[in-house]
A and B are shown apart, each in its own frame.
Chain A
Amino acid sequence: MRLVVDLNKCQGYAQCAFLAPDVFAMHGEEALIYDPCPQEEQRERVARAVAACPVRAITADGLHRAGGTQEASDVR
Protein backbone atom coordinates (compact mmCIF):
# COMPACT_ATOMS: atom_id res chain seq x y z
CA MET A 1 0.00 0.00 0.00
CA ARG A 2 1.37 3.38 -0.96
CA LEU A 3 0.00 6.82 -0.56
CA VAL A 4 0.72 10.44 -1.24
CA VAL A 5 -1.03 13.56 -0.03
CA ASP A 6 -1.32 16.56 -2.29
CA LEU A 7 -0.47 19.10 0.35
CA ASN A 8 -1.36 21.97 -1.96
CA LYS A 9 -4.93 20.72 -1.74
CA CYS A 10 -4.88 19.62 1.90
CA GLN A 11 -6.69 22.06 4.16
CA GLY A 12 -5.49 20.53 7.39
CA TYR A 13 -8.94 19.39 8.48
CA ALA A 14 -7.24 16.50 10.31
CA GLN A 15 -9.93 14.02 9.33
CA CYS A 16 -7.27 11.58 8.18
CA ALA A 17 -5.25 11.97 11.38
CA PHE A 18 -8.40 11.19 13.34
CA LEU A 19 -9.22 8.08 11.30
CA ALA A 20 -5.70 6.68 10.86
CA PRO A 21 -3.53 8.22 13.58
CA ASP A 22 -0.59 5.87 12.95
CA VAL A 23 -0.36 7.01 9.34
CA PHE A 24 -1.29 10.70 9.42
CA ALA A 25 -0.36 13.23 12.07
CA MET A 26 -0.73 16.95 12.49
CA HIS A 27 2.56 18.71 12.91
CA GLY A 28 1.84 21.92 14.71
CA GLU A 29 -1.60 23.40 14.20
CA GLU A 30 -2.00 23.01 10.46
CA ALA A 31 0.73 21.00 8.83
CA LEU A 32 0.19 17.36 7.99
CA ILE A 33 2.91 14.72 7.94
CA TYR A 34 2.32 11.13 6.99
CA ASP A 35 3.86 7.73 6.34
CA PRO A 36 3.78 7.11 2.56
CA CYS A 37 4.12 3.36 3.03
CA PRO A 38 1.84 2.29 5.86
CA GLN A 39 1.71 -1.19 7.35
CA GLU A 40 -0.77 -3.65 5.88
CA GLU A 41 -2.90 -3.65 9.00
CA GLN A 42 -3.61 0.06 8.40
CA ARG A 43 -5.43 -0.71 5.15
CA GLU A 44 -8.98 -0.31 6.46
CA ARG A 45 -8.16 2.89 8.27
CA VAL A 46 -6.33 4.37 5.31
CA ALA A 47 -9.27 3.54 3.06
CA ARG A 48 -11.55 5.36 5.45
CA ALA A 49 -9.22 8.35 5.61
CA VAL A 50 -9.03 8.55 1.81
CA ALA A 51 -12.81 8.51 1.58
CA ALA A 52 -13.26 11.04 4.37
CA CYS A 53 -10.81 13.69 3.16
CA PRO A 54 -13.07 16.60 2.28
CA VAL A 55 -10.78 17.87 -0.47
CA ARG A 56 -9.77 14.45 -1.86
CA ALA A 57 -6.11 15.18 -1.30
CA ILE A 58 -5.03 11.60 -0.60
CA THR A 59 -4.10 9.23 -3.43
CA ALA A 60 -3.48 5.63 -2.41
CA ASP A 61 -3.04 2.36 -4.22
CA GLY A 62 -3.24 -1.21 -3.02
CA LEU A 63 -6.31 -0.44 -0.94
CA HIS A 64 -8.35 -3.26 -2.39
CA ARG A 65 -6.88 -6.55 -1.35
CA ALA A 66 -8.26 -8.50 -4.32
CA GLY A 67 -5.38 -7.27 -6.46
CA GLY A 68 -5.97 -7.15 -10.22
CA THR A 69 -5.47 -3.68 -11.54
CA GLN A 70 -4.45 -1.34 -8.83
CA GLU A 71 -6.69 1.55 -9.53
CA ALA A 72 -5.84 4.39 -7.27
CA SER A 73 -8.61 5.84 -5.26
CA ASP A 74 -8.61 9.31 -6.70
CA VAL A 75 -8.79 8.39 -10.36
CA ARG A 76 -10.47 11.35 -11.93
Chain B
Amino acid sequence: MSADHVERLRREGRIVIVGASLAGLRAAETLRAEGFAGDLTLIGDEPCEPYDRPPLSKSALLGMASPLRTELPRRREIDAKWRLGVAATGLDLAAKRVRLADGDEVEYDRLLIATGVRARPWFNEEEARLDGVCVLRTRQDAADLARRLKAGPRRVFVIGAGFAGSEVASACRETGLPVSMAERAAAPLVGALGGVVGAVAADLATEHGVDLRTHVTVTALEGDTVGRVRAVHLSDESVVEADVVVVSLGSLRNTEWLAGSGLGAGPRGIACDAGCRAFDFRGIVTDDVFVAGDVARSPHALFGYQFLSLEHWGNAVAQAETAAHNMICDGADRRPHLWMPAFWSSMFGVNIKSVGVPPMGEQLMITQGSLAERRFVGVYGHQGRIVAAVTFDNARWLEFYQRQIERGAPFPVEFSTPDRRPEGRQPVPAGFPDPSLPTHGPMVTLTGYSPADQQLVFHPARH
Protein backbone atom coordinates (compact mmCIF):
# COMPACT_ATOMS: atom_id res chain seq x y z
CA MET B 1 0.00 0.00 0.00
CA SER B 2 1.41 3.38 -0.94
CA ALA B 3 1.97 6.12 1.62
CA ASP B 4 -0.31 8.34 -0.47
CA HIS B 5 -3.14 5.91 -0.13
CA VAL B 6 -2.78 5.79 3.65
CA GLU B 7 -2.61 9.57 3.83
CA ARG B 8 -5.84 9.84 1.88
CA LEU B 9 -7.49 7.21 4.04
CA ARG B 10 -6.54 9.09 7.19
CA ARG B 11 -7.80 12.36 5.76
CA GLU B 12 -11.02 11.40 4.03
CA GLY B 13 -11.51 7.65 4.27
CA ARG B 14 -14.62 5.89 5.55
CA ILE B 15 -14.31 3.61 8.55
CA VAL B 16 -17.19 1.50 9.78
CA ILE B 17 -17.23 -0.26 13.14
CA VAL B 18 -19.82 -2.98 13.69
CA GLY B 19 -20.47 -3.66 17.39
CA ALA B 20 -20.83 -0.53 19.49
CA SER B 21 -19.64 -1.75 22.85
CA LEU B 22 -16.32 -1.80 24.68
CA ALA B 23 -14.07 -2.74 21.77
CA GLY B 24 -16.01 -0.63 19.27
CA LEU B 25 -15.86 2.50 21.38
CA ARG B 26 -12.20 2.20 22.33
CA ALA B 27 -11.30 1.61 18.67
CA ALA B 28 -13.23 4.72 17.61
CA GLU B 29 -11.43 6.81 20.23
CA THR B 30 -8.06 5.48 19.16
CA LEU B 31 -8.76 6.23 15.50
CA ARG B 32 -9.45 9.86 16.35
CA ALA B 33 -6.55 10.05 18.80
CA GLU B 34 -4.22 8.88 16.05
CA GLY B 35 -5.43 11.48 13.61
CA PHE B 36 -8.13 9.79 11.56
CA ALA B 37 -10.19 12.69 10.18
CA GLY B 38 -12.54 10.90 7.79
CA ASP B 39 -16.05 9.46 8.21
CA LEU B 40 -16.58 7.20 11.18
CA THR B 41 -19.74 5.13 11.62
CA LEU B 42 -20.58 2.93 14.60
CA ILE B 43 -23.26 0.30 14.13
CA GLY B 44 -24.75 -1.42 17.17
CA ASP B 45 -27.82 -3.57 17.59
CA GLU B 46 -28.35 -2.52 21.18
CA PRO B 47 -30.37 0.68 21.39
CA CYS B 48 -28.03 2.39 23.84
CA GLU B 49 -24.59 3.93 24.08
CA PRO B 50 -21.66 1.62 24.81
CA TYR B 51 -21.76 0.41 28.39
CA ASP B 52 -19.61 -1.70 30.64
CA ARG B 53 -20.55 -5.30 31.38
CA PRO B 54 -18.41 -6.48 34.34
CA PRO B 55 -20.42 -4.43 36.88
CA LEU B 56 -23.60 -6.18 35.69
CA SER B 57 -22.78 -9.30 37.67
CA LYS B 58 -21.16 -7.48 40.57
CA SER B 59 -22.10 -4.00 41.83
CA ALA B 60 -25.38 -4.01 39.89
CA LEU B 61 -26.61 -7.17 41.62
CA LEU B 62 -25.38 -5.94 44.98
CA GLY B 63 -27.44 -2.79 44.61
CA MET B 64 -24.43 -0.50 44.45
CA ALA B 65 -24.96 0.57 40.85
CA SER B 66 -27.92 0.80 38.54
CA PRO B 67 -27.67 -1.87 35.85
CA LEU B 68 -28.98 0.69 33.38
CA ARG B 69 -26.28 3.22 34.20
CA THR B 70 -22.96 1.64 33.37
CA GLU B 71 -22.22 3.63 30.21
CA LEU B 72 -18.53 3.77 29.50
CA PRO B 73 -16.76 7.08 30.00
CA ARG B 74 -15.44 8.67 26.83
CA ARG B 75 -11.76 9.21 26.52
CA ARG B 76 -12.36 11.89 23.90
CA GLU B 77 -14.90 13.19 21.39
CA ILE B 78 -15.17 10.77 18.50
CA ASP B 79 -17.41 12.68 16.15
CA ALA B 80 -19.04 9.56 14.76
CA LYS B 81 -22.30 8.71 13.08
CA TRP B 82 -24.09 6.38 15.44
CA ARG B 83 -26.44 3.77 14.03
CA LEU B 84 -27.80 2.29 17.25
CA GLY B 85 -30.59 -0.23 17.61
CA VAL B 86 -29.93 -1.66 14.16
CA ALA B 87 -28.05 -4.89 13.51
CA ALA B 88 -25.64 -5.49 10.69
CA THR B 89 -27.07 -8.39 8.71
CA GLY B 90 -24.57 -8.96 5.96
CA LEU B 91 -21.21 -8.11 4.49
CA ASP B 92 -20.24 -7.75 0.86
CA LEU B 93 -16.46 -8.09 0.94
CA ALA B 94 -15.97 -7.30 -2.74
CA ALA B 95 -18.15 -4.19 -2.79
CA LYS B 96 -16.95 -3.19 0.72
CA ARG B 97 -20.41 -2.76 2.05
CA VAL B 98 -22.21 -3.63 5.29
CA ARG B 99 -25.92 -4.42 5.06
CA LEU B 100 -28.18 -3.34 7.89
CA ALA B 101 -31.40 -4.81 9.26
CA ASP B 102 -33.34 -1.72 8.18
CA GLY B 103 -32.34 -2.28 4.57
CA ASP B 104 -29.66 0.38 4.49
CA GLU B 105 -26.13 -0.28 3.27
CA VAL B 106 -22.99 1.42 4.51
CA GLU B 107 -19.80 1.57 2.46
CA TYR B 108 -16.38 1.42 4.00
CA ASP B 109 -12.73 1.66 3.13
CA ARG B 110 -11.87 -0.10 6.37
CA LEU B 111 -14.17 -2.21 8.53
CA LEU B 112 -13.75 -3.22 12.17
CA ILE B 113 -15.83 -6.12 13.42
CA ALA B 114 -16.38 -6.07 17.19
CA THR B 115 -19.68 -7.91 17.56
CA GLY B 116 -18.66 -9.82 20.68
CA VAL B 117 -20.58 -12.77 22.04
CA ARG B 118 -24.03 -13.35 23.46
CA ALA B 119 -25.26 -15.55 26.28
CA ARG B 120 -25.85 -19.17 25.33
CA PRO B 121 -29.57 -19.64 25.83
CA TRP B 122 -31.21 -22.59 27.58
CA PHE B 123 -31.37 -25.35 24.98
CA ASN B 124 -35.09 -26.05 25.31
CA GLU B 125 -36.81 -23.02 23.79
CA GLU B 126 -40.13 -23.59 25.45
CA GLU B 127 -38.52 -23.88 28.88
CA ALA B 128 -36.27 -20.89 28.13
CA ARG B 129 -39.39 -18.77 27.67
CA LEU B 130 -40.72 -19.52 31.15
CA ASP B 131 -41.05 -16.42 33.26
CA GLY B 132 -38.12 -16.29 35.69
CA VAL B 133 -35.58 -17.94 33.39
CA CYS B 134 -32.77 -15.41 32.86
CA VAL B 135 -29.42 -15.00 31.18
CA LEU B 136 -26.90 -12.26 31.94
CA ARG B 137 -25.12 -10.49 29.12
CA THR B 138 -26.85 -7.20 28.39
CA ARG B 139 -27.83 -4.40 30.70
CA GLN B 140 -31.46 -5.29 30.09
CA ASP B 141 -30.72 -8.82 31.29
CA ALA B 142 -29.09 -7.35 34.39
CA ALA B 143 -31.96 -4.98 35.08
CA ASP B 144 -34.40 -7.86 34.75
CA LEU B 145 -32.38 -10.12 37.03
CA ALA B 146 -31.79 -7.36 39.60
CA ARG B 147 -35.53 -6.69 39.73
CA ARG B 148 -36.30 -10.36 40.26
CA LEU B 149 -33.70 -10.71 43.00
CA LYS B 150 -35.06 -7.64 44.74
CA ALA B 151 -38.52 -9.15 44.77
CA GLY B 152 -37.19 -11.80 47.15
CA PRO B 153 -37.54 -15.13 45.34
CA ARG B 154 -37.74 -18.25 47.49
CA ARG B 155 -34.70 -19.69 45.75
CA VAL B 156 -32.44 -18.79 42.85
CA PHE B 157 -30.98 -21.56 40.72
CA VAL B 158 -27.79 -20.91 38.75
CA ILE B 159 -27.02 -23.31 35.90
CA GLY B 160 -23.27 -23.37 35.25
CA ALA B 161 -20.53 -22.46 37.72
CA GLY B 162 -18.19 -20.42 35.58
CA PHE B 163 -17.18 -16.90 36.56
CA ALA B 164 -20.49 -15.27 35.70
CA GLY B 165 -22.58 -17.95 37.41
CA SER B 166 -20.40 -17.92 40.51
CA GLU B 167 -20.57 -14.12 40.70
CA VAL B 168 -24.37 -14.30 40.56
CA ALA B 169 -24.44 -16.96 43.28
CA SER B 170 -22.14 -14.83 45.39
CA ALA B 171 -24.35 -11.74 45.00
CA CYS B 172 -27.40 -13.81 45.96
CA ARG B 173 -25.77 -14.97 49.17
CA GLU B 174 -24.63 -11.49 50.01
CA THR B 175 -28.15 -10.18 49.68
CA GLY B 176 -29.46 -13.07 51.75
CA LEU B 177 -31.11 -15.13 49.03
CA PRO B 178 -31.07 -18.93 49.04
CA VAL B 179 -29.22 -20.10 45.95
CA SER B 180 -28.35 -23.41 44.32
CA MET B 181 -25.72 -23.77 41.63
CA ALA B 182 -25.30 -26.77 39.34
CA GLU B 183 -22.16 -27.65 37.44
CA ARG B 184 -21.38 -30.54 35.12
CA ALA B 185 -17.70 -30.58 36.17
CA ALA B 186 -16.32 -31.45 39.59
CA ALA B 187 -16.17 -27.85 40.81
CA PRO B 188 -16.77 -24.22 39.86
CA LEU B 189 -14.26 -22.49 37.55
CA VAL B 190 -12.72 -25.79 36.46
CA GLY B 191 -12.69 -24.87 32.78
CA ALA B 192 -10.88 -21.60 33.46
CA LEU B 193 -8.56 -22.49 36.33
CA GLY B 194 -8.47 -26.28 36.66
CA GLY B 195 -9.61 -28.70 39.35
CA VAL B 196 -7.15 -27.78 42.10
CA VAL B 197 -8.17 -24.12 42.15
CA GLY B 198 -11.76 -25.13 41.38
CA ALA B 199 -11.86 -27.09 44.64
CA VAL B 200 -11.04 -23.88 46.52
CA ALA B 201 -13.85 -22.10 44.68
CA ALA B 202 -16.18 -24.96 45.68
CA ASP B 203 -15.27 -24.58 49.36
CA LEU B 204 -15.76 -20.84 49.14
CA ALA B 205 -19.22 -21.24 47.66
CA THR B 206 -20.42 -23.89 50.09
CA GLU B 207 -19.07 -22.04 53.11
CA HIS B 208 -21.04 -19.02 52.05
CA GLY B 209 -24.17 -21.09 51.96
CA VAL B 210 -24.47 -21.89 48.26
CA ASP B 211 -26.16 -25.23 47.66
CA LEU B 212 -23.52 -26.41 45.19
CA ARG B 213 -24.26 -29.47 43.08
CA THR B 214 -21.43 -30.79 40.97
CA HIS B 215 -21.16 -33.66 38.49
CA VAL B 216 -24.75 -33.00 37.50
CA THR B 217 -26.53 -31.46 34.57
CA VAL B 218 -29.89 -29.79 34.53
CA THR B 219 -32.25 -31.90 32.47
CA ALA B 220 -35.43 -29.83 32.53
CA LEU B 221 -37.03 -26.65 33.80
CA GLU B 222 -40.54 -27.03 35.07
CA GLY B 223 -43.16 -24.30 34.85
CA ASP B 224 -46.43 -23.75 36.65
CA THR B 225 -49.83 -23.30 35.04
CA VAL B 226 -49.29 -19.61 34.29
CA GLY B 227 -45.88 -20.10 32.70
CA ARG B 228 -43.58 -19.18 35.58
CA VAL B 229 -40.60 -21.37 36.31
CA ARG B 230 -41.15 -23.43 39.42
CA ALA B 231 -38.55 -26.17 39.64
CA VAL B 232 -35.31 -27.46 38.18
CA HIS B 233 -34.77 -31.14 37.37
CA LEU B 234 -31.28 -32.58 37.61
CA SER B 235 -29.58 -35.60 36.09
CA ASP B 236 -29.21 -37.20 39.54
CA GLU B 237 -33.01 -37.23 39.63
CA SER B 238 -33.24 -34.55 42.26
CA VAL B 239 -35.67 -31.66 41.85
CA VAL B 240 -35.02 -28.20 43.26
CA GLU B 241 -37.78 -25.66 43.63
CA ALA B 242 -36.75 -22.21 42.45
CA ASP B 243 -38.52 -19.20 41.02
CA VAL B 244 -35.53 -17.56 39.37
CA VAL B 245 -33.20 -19.60 37.14
CA VAL B 246 -30.04 -18.00 35.80
CA VAL B 247 -28.70 -19.79 32.75
CA SER B 248 -24.95 -19.26 32.77
CA LEU B 249 -23.65 -21.68 30.19
CA GLY B 250 -21.07 -19.57 28.42
CA SER B 251 -21.48 -17.74 25.19
CA LEU B 252 -22.02 -17.86 21.46
CA ARG B 253 -20.03 -15.67 19.09
CA ASN B 254 -21.97 -13.13 17.08
CA THR B 255 -20.80 -14.20 13.65
CA GLU B 256 -23.99 -15.46 11.98
CA TRP B 257 -24.44 -12.18 10.13
CA LEU B 258 -21.19 -12.95 8.27
CA ALA B 259 -22.41 -16.28 6.88
CA GLY B 260 -21.70 -16.50 3.18
CA SER B 261 -19.59 -13.33 3.22
CA GLY B 262 -16.39 -15.24 2.53
CA LEU B 263 -14.83 -14.21 5.82
CA GLY B 264 -13.22 -16.89 8.03
CA ALA B 265 -16.00 -16.51 10.57
CA GLY B 266 -17.80 -19.29 12.40
CA PRO B 267 -19.01 -20.47 15.79
CA ARG B 268 -15.52 -20.06 17.21
CA GLY B 269 -15.17 -16.48 16.18
CA ILE B 270 -13.34 -14.67 13.44
CA ALA B 271 -9.76 -15.68 12.84
CA CYS B 272 -7.28 -12.87 12.31
CA ASP B 273 -3.54 -12.36 12.14
CA ALA B 274 -1.60 -10.81 15.00
CA GLY B 275 -2.24 -7.42 13.39
CA CYS B 276 -6.04 -7.93 13.84
CA ARG B 277 -6.65 -8.36 10.09
CA ALA B 278 -9.40 -10.89 9.48
CA PHE B 279 -8.78 -14.00 7.42
CA ASP B 280 -11.09 -14.92 4.63
CA PHE B 281 -12.37 -18.50 4.53
CA ARG B 282 -9.41 -19.54 2.41
CA GLY B 283 -7.02 -18.46 5.16
CA ILE B 284 -5.83 -15.43 3.22
CA VAL B 285 -5.51 -12.30 5.25
CA THR B 286 -7.71 -9.36 4.26
CA ASP B 287 -6.23 -5.92 4.40
CA ASP B 288 -9.34 -3.88 5.01
CA VAL B 289 -11.33 -5.95 7.50
CA PHE B 290 -10.16 -5.96 11.11
CA VAL B 291 -11.51 -7.66 14.23
CA ALA B 292 -11.23 -7.02 17.96
CA GLY B 293 -12.65 -8.16 21.28
CA ASP B 294 -14.58 -11.25 22.29
CA VAL B 295 -15.43 -12.19 18.70
CA ALA B 296 -11.79 -12.35 17.54
CA ARG B 297 -9.34 -15.25 17.65
CA SER B 298 -5.76 -14.35 17.08
CA PRO B 299 -2.42 -16.14 17.21
CA HIS B 300 -0.10 -15.37 20.09
CA ALA B 301 3.63 -15.88 19.79
CA LEU B 302 4.07 -16.47 23.51
CA PHE B 303 1.57 -19.28 23.54
CA GLY B 304 2.82 -21.38 20.67
CA TYR B 305 0.99 -19.31 18.03
CA GLN B 306 -2.25 -20.88 19.17
CA PHE B 307 -5.30 -18.90 18.21
CA LEU B 308 -6.62 -17.41 21.41
CA SER B 309 -10.21 -16.30 21.84
CA LEU B 310 -10.34 -14.32 25.03
CA GLU B 311 -13.52 -13.15 26.67
CA HIS B 312 -11.61 -10.66 28.75
CA TRP B 313 -12.35 -6.98 29.21
CA GLY B 314 -8.70 -5.98 28.97
CA ASN B 315 -8.26 -7.87 25.73
CA ALA B 316 -11.17 -6.04 24.13
CA VAL B 317 -9.57 -2.70 24.99
CA ALA B 318 -6.04 -3.61 23.94
CA GLN B 319 -7.05 -5.38 20.75
CA ALA B 320 -9.33 -2.50 19.76
CA GLU B 321 -6.47 -0.05 20.21
CA THR B 322 -4.13 -2.15 18.12
CA ALA B 323 -6.71 -2.79 15.42
CA ALA B 324 -7.51 0.92 15.19
CA HIS B 325 -3.85 1.82 14.93
CA ASN B 326 -3.24 -0.76 12.22
CA MET B 327 -6.31 0.28 10.25
CA ILE B 328 -4.80 3.64 9.45
CA CYS B 329 -1.15 2.63 9.07
CA ASP B 330 1.20 1.39 6.45
CA GLY B 331 2.61 -2.12 6.77
CA ALA B 332 5.85 -1.17 8.48
CA ASP B 333 4.14 0.91 11.16
CA ARG B 334 1.72 -1.80 12.15
CA ARG B 335 1.88 -3.42 15.55
CA PRO B 336 1.04 -6.96 16.62
CA HIS B 337 -1.57 -7.56 19.29
CA LEU B 338 0.57 -9.46 21.75
CA TRP B 339 -1.29 -8.54 24.87
CA MET B 340 -0.71 -10.62 27.97
CA PRO B 341 -4.07 -12.22 28.72
CA ALA B 342 -5.38 -11.00 32.08
CA PHE B 343 -8.71 -10.93 33.87
CA TRP B 344 -10.23 -10.40 37.25
CA SER B 345 -13.29 -11.59 39.05
CA SER B 346 -14.49 -11.33 42.60
CA MET B 347 -16.82 -13.58 44.48
CA PHE B 348 -17.59 -14.24 48.12
CA GLY B 349 -15.36 -11.30 49.01
CA VAL B 350 -12.30 -12.83 47.34
CA ASN B 351 -10.37 -11.06 44.61
CA ILE B 352 -9.47 -13.49 41.83
CA LYS B 353 -7.03 -12.42 39.17
CA SER B 354 -5.07 -14.17 36.51
CA VAL B 355 -2.44 -13.54 33.85
CA GLY B 356 -1.42 -15.77 30.96
CA VAL B 357 -3.41 -18.75 29.75
CA PRO B 358 -4.15 -21.11 32.67
CA PRO B 359 -5.91 -23.81 30.59
CA MET B 360 -2.69 -24.27 28.69
CA GLY B 361 -0.91 -25.43 31.86
CA GLU B 362 -0.88 -29.09 32.79
CA GLN B 363 0.72 -28.46 36.12
CA LEU B 364 0.19 -26.10 38.98
CA MET B 365 2.45 -24.97 41.77
CA ILE B 366 1.34 -22.91 44.75
CA THR B 367 4.18 -20.46 45.27
CA GLN B 368 2.76 -18.13 47.89
CA GLY B 369 0.14 -18.53 50.56
CA SER B 370 -1.92 -21.68 50.72
CA LEU B 371 -5.02 -23.17 49.21
CA ALA B 372 -6.43 -23.83 52.67
CA GLU B 373 -6.32 -20.14 53.53
CA ARG B 374 -7.77 -19.22 50.13
CA ARG B 375 -5.05 -16.69 49.79
CA PHE B 376 -2.44 -17.84 47.35
CA VAL B 377 -0.57 -17.56 44.09
CA GLY B 378 -0.84 -20.53 41.74
CA VAL B 379 1.57 -20.81 38.83
CA TYR B 380 0.74 -22.92 35.77
CA GLY B 381 3.39 -24.76 33.77
CA HIS B 382 3.42 -26.15 30.26
CA GLN B 383 6.38 -28.04 28.80
CA GLY B 384 8.82 -26.66 31.33
CA ARG B 385 7.72 -23.01 31.07
CA ILE B 386 5.52 -20.75 33.14
CA VAL B 387 2.39 -19.96 31.10
CA ALA B 388 0.00 -18.45 33.63
CA ALA B 389 -0.57 -17.43 37.21
CA VAL B 390 -3.71 -17.00 39.28
CA THR B 391 -4.10 -15.22 42.58
CA PHE B 392 -6.77 -15.39 45.26
CA ASP B 393 -6.44 -12.22 47.37
CA ASN B 394 -2.79 -11.91 46.42
CA ALA B 395 -2.92 -9.71 43.33
CA ARG B 396 0.21 -7.76 44.08
CA TRP B 397 2.31 -10.69 42.94
CA LEU B 398 0.81 -10.85 39.49
CA GLU B 399 3.05 -8.32 37.83
CA PHE B 400 6.07 -10.31 38.85
CA TYR B 401 4.64 -13.47 37.34
CA GLN B 402 3.60 -11.64 34.23
CA ARG B 403 7.26 -10.85 33.62
CA GLN B 404 8.18 -14.50 34.25
CA ILE B 405 5.67 -15.56 31.61
CA GLU B 406 6.99 -12.98 29.16
CA ARG B 407 10.53 -14.28 29.67
CA GLY B 408 9.42 -17.88 29.27
CA ALA B 409 10.83 -18.60 32.74
CA PRO B 410 11.26 -22.27 33.61
CA PHE B 411 8.65 -24.37 35.39
CA PRO B 412 8.69 -25.78 38.08
CA VAL B 413 9.33 -22.36 39.59
CA GLU B 414 12.90 -22.23 40.81
CA PHE B 415 13.20 -19.18 43.02
CA SER B 416 12.44 -19.50 46.67
CA THR B 417 9.73 -17.21 47.94
CA PRO B 418 9.44 -15.55 51.33
CA ASP B 419 6.80 -17.93 52.60
CA ARG B 420 7.46 -21.61 52.19
CA ARG B 421 4.30 -23.59 52.55
CA PRO B 422 4.26 -27.34 52.38
CA GLU B 423 2.04 -27.44 49.30
CA GLY B 424 4.19 -24.81 47.63
CA ARG B 425 7.20 -26.81 46.69
CA GLN B 426 5.77 -29.44 44.40
CA PRO B 427 3.97 -29.10 41.10
CA VAL B 428 0.73 -31.04 40.93
CA PRO B 429 -1.54 -31.77 37.97
CA ALA B 430 -3.66 -28.65 37.48
CA GLY B 431 -6.75 -30.76 36.84
CA PHE B 432 -8.18 -29.34 33.63
CA PRO B 433 -10.89 -31.46 32.09
CA ASP B 434 -10.28 -33.14 28.77
CA PRO B 435 -10.37 -30.23 26.31
CA SER B 436 -12.47 -32.23 23.89
CA LEU B 437 -15.31 -32.36 26.43
CA PRO B 438 -17.55 -29.34 26.78
CA THR B 439 -17.25 -27.19 29.87
CA HIS B 440 -19.19 -24.16 30.90
CA GLY B 441 -17.64 -21.10 29.37
CA PRO B 442 -13.96 -21.27 30.16
CA MET B 443 -13.42 -17.66 28.96
CA VAL B 444 -10.28 -18.73 27.13
CA THR B 445 -10.56 -21.07 24.23
CA LEU B 446 -7.63 -22.62 22.49
CA THR B 447 -8.97 -23.43 19.13
CA GLY B 448 -8.32 -24.72 15.74
CA TYR B 449 -10.76 -24.06 12.97
CA SER B 450 -13.92 -26.07 13.39
CA PRO B 451 -14.06 -28.83 10.76
CA ALA B 452 -17.83 -28.32 10.65
CA ASP B 453 -17.32 -24.91 9.09
CA GLN B 454 -15.20 -26.16 6.27
CA GLN B 455 -16.00 -24.32 3.08
CA LEU B 456 -13.02 -25.55 1.07
CA VAL B 457 -12.47 -28.91 -0.53
CA PHE B 458 -8.96 -29.95 0.37
CA HIS B 459 -6.85 -31.14 -2.61
CA PRO B 460 -3.43 -32.39 -1.52
CA ALA B 461 -0.68 -31.18 -3.84
CA ARG B 462 0.45 -33.84 -6.36
CA HIS B 463 4.12 -34.27 -7.01
Q: Which of A's residues lie within 8 Å of B, judged by CB? A: 2-4, 6-8, 10-12, 25, 27-31, 33-37, 59-62, 69-72, 74-75
Contacts and interface: CB of A to CB of B under 8 A. Distances in A.
Nearest to B62: A33
B76 A36 contact: no
A29 B59 CA distance: 16
B314 interface: yes
B72 A31 contact: no
Contact of A4 (B52, B348, B394): B52
Interface in B370-396: 393-396
Interface of B: 33, 52, 54-55, 58-59, 62, 64-66, 69-77, 313-314, 317, 342-344, 346, 348-351, 353, 393-396
Contacts of B52: 4, 36
22 contacts: A3-B73, A6-B314, A8-B353, A11-B395, A27-B58, A27-B346, A28-B346, A28-B350, A29-B349, A30-B351, A31-B349, A31-B350, A33-B59, A34-B65, A36-B52, A36-B69, A59-B75, A61-B75, A62-B73, A70-B74, A70-B76, A75-B76
Nearest to B340: A8
Contacts of A71: 75-76
A34 B348 CA distance: 16
A29 B393 contact: yes
A30 B393 contact: yes
Contacts, number: 96
A60 B66 CA distance: 17
Contacts of B55: 33-34, 36
Dominant SS among interface residues on chain A: loop
Nearest to B348: A28
Given A29-B393, A33-B59, A37-B65, 8 more contacts: A8-B353, A11-B395, A28-B346, A31-B344, A31-B346, A33-B64, A37-B70, A37-B71
B125 to A, nearest CB: 34
Nearest to A34: B59
A40 to B, nearest CB: 13
